[in-house]
Amino acid sequence: MYTTNWLRPLGAAALTLLLAQAGAAQETLKLGISAPLSGAAATWGLGMEWAAEQAAERVNAEGGVTANGKTYMFDIVSYDNKYSATEGARNAQTMLNRDGIDFIAGTIGTAPVRAMQALTERKGVILFTTAWGKSVKGPEFPFTFTQMNTPFEILVPFYNFIKEQHPDLKTAVLISPNDATGQELEPVAVETWKSLGVEMLASDWYERGTTEFQPIATKIATLNPDLVDFSAAPPTDVGSILKELDVLGWNGVKVMSAGTSVDALTAVAGEAAEGAYLGASADFSGETATEVQKELNAGAREALGEPLNGITISSYDAIMALRAAIEEADSIDPAKVQAVLSSVRFESSYGPSGFGGEATYDYPQQLLIPVIVTRVENGKAVELTRSNPAELEALIND
């Protein structure tokens, strides 16, 4: 009788403890992805989704992320933003109001990101983005963090390198998609080329979703510039224009500031893509790639049929930053995580990293990673040069 009385509360306590532990082990933290999973820019979204899943698997396999004595497992939830502001806004509503997501680990497109910010900043939700627009950053957007290099990090070293390789460059044509990303990139690109002594013969716009590129190609071929810069155009659009330019006999310097998916580019353009300079790609299978990047890249080739690039791998880095910030803040409260994100140090896929860019954006919300210039050679992105921003150098040497 005495034994039974003693055992019952003990058993109940043990059961409660076990259930509590089981409950703790099953805590999940949803991380949202809002990216184009269909359409011309789908290769970016699908790659970003895949890299985020790899990062989550890695974090979970290493025991999850611990905050305030609880362990959380990351769970990736993806939404197709179709590269449009309408879908971006709809995704934000779904993520925040229906699915209760407090951390968005990857978004693509300035217009959809602007649409999301109206909600994420108001509700204090952490938003990682690849958006190239300067308008999505600054002290008025403290919950927004950029997860890859943008024109303000890329264009000067990228264009300088191209000009060094082709000192005779005199004239250029800029082709930009007519949306928020293109509109914010265009003046920076024009000014940067002018500062290098390159005259801009034309700066034209096209609508995303355009199917026929012969008029653009005919105009470029008639102007016959030394260089064409395709600005923020996705690889399939650039591939279509390059194919038409090849038919018309133009063969100058090809520049893709947002150049990423080489496989998508060459699938459309074929040999016409050879020699194109890419500002946002990388050779993650080359000598300069880290072991993490090589492993991820090989996995992406197998799973998606094409390698990772600066845009797609960025969700991995965002999740690593998030893990470090949650552990530093010892909380999953987005406000507390946001407070430490700007100063947290973590291991990105590129190596040691953190956030900076206060001199450019008035707020330290730009991921610090190397600027890598690649070129299409035999259908592959081959790294030509890389440079670390001064802040990253300081962080590495710290």
Which residues, other chains included, contact 126 with Cβ-Cβ below 8 Å and sequence gap of 6+? 102, 103, 104, 120, 143, 145, 322, 334, 337, 338, 341
Q: How far is the CB of 130 from other proteins (least distance, A)?
A: 17
φ/ψ (deg, to 5) at 142: -70, -15
Q: Which is nearer to other proteins, 244 or 328 (CB)?
A: 244
Q: How far is the CB of 45 from other proteins (least distance, A)?
A: 7
Q: Which is nearer to other proteins, 141 or 213 (CB)?
A: 213
φ/ψ (deg, to 5) at 220: -60, -45
Tokens of 214: 């012969």
At CA 103, angle to CA 284 and CA 341, rounded to 5? 75
Q: How far is the CB of 40 from other proteins (least distance, A)?
A: 6
Question: How many C-beta neighbours within 10 Å does residue 53 have?
Answer: 20
3-state secondary structure of 242: helix
Strands (DSSP E) contained in 180-276 are 199-206, 227-229, 253-256
Burial 337-353 (b: 16+ CB within 10 A, else e): bbebbbebebebbbeeb
Q: Which is nearer to other proteins, 239 or 356 (CB)?
A: 239
Q: How far is the CB of 267 from other proteins (least distance, A)?
A: 4
Q: Which is nearer to other proteins, 242 or 324 (CB)?
A: 242
Q: How far is the CB of 55 from other proteins (least distance, A)?
A: 21
Q: Which is nearer to other proteins, 212 or 398 (CB)?
A: 212
Binding residues (CB under 8 A) for other proteins: these are 36-40, 42-43, 45-46, 80, 82, 178, 202, 204-207, 209-212, 214-216, 218-219, 222, 236, 239-240, 247-249, 264, 267-268, 304
**Among the listed residues 196, 190, 128, the one whose alpha carbon sits nearest the alpha carbon of residue 167:** 196
Q: How far is the CB of 256 from other proteins (least distance, A)?
A: 16
Q: How far is the CB of 32 from other proteins (least distance, A)?
A: 18
Q: Which is nearer to other proteins, 43 or 54 (CB)?
A: 43
Rounded to whole angstroms, the Cα distance separating 123 from 141 reads 12
Q: Which is nearer to other proteins, 43 or 353 (CB)?
A: 43
Distances 315 to 165, 273, 307 between C-alpha atoms, Å = 32, 27, 15
Q: How far is the CB of 173 from other proteins (least distance, A)?
A: 11
Q: Which run of H or E residues covers position 95?
A: none
Handedness of CA 286, 291, 293, 297 (dihedral sign): positive
Q: Look at strands 65-67 and 70-80 and give their pairing.
A: antiparallel
End-to-end CA distance of the chain: 67
Q: Which is nearer to other proteins, 154 or 273 (CB)?
A: 273
Q: How far is the CB of 196 from other proteins (least distance, A)?
A: 24
Q: What is the dihedral of CA 361, 364, 368, 373, to 10 degrees?
A: 0
Q: Which is nearer to other proteins, 161 or 205 (CB)?
A: 205
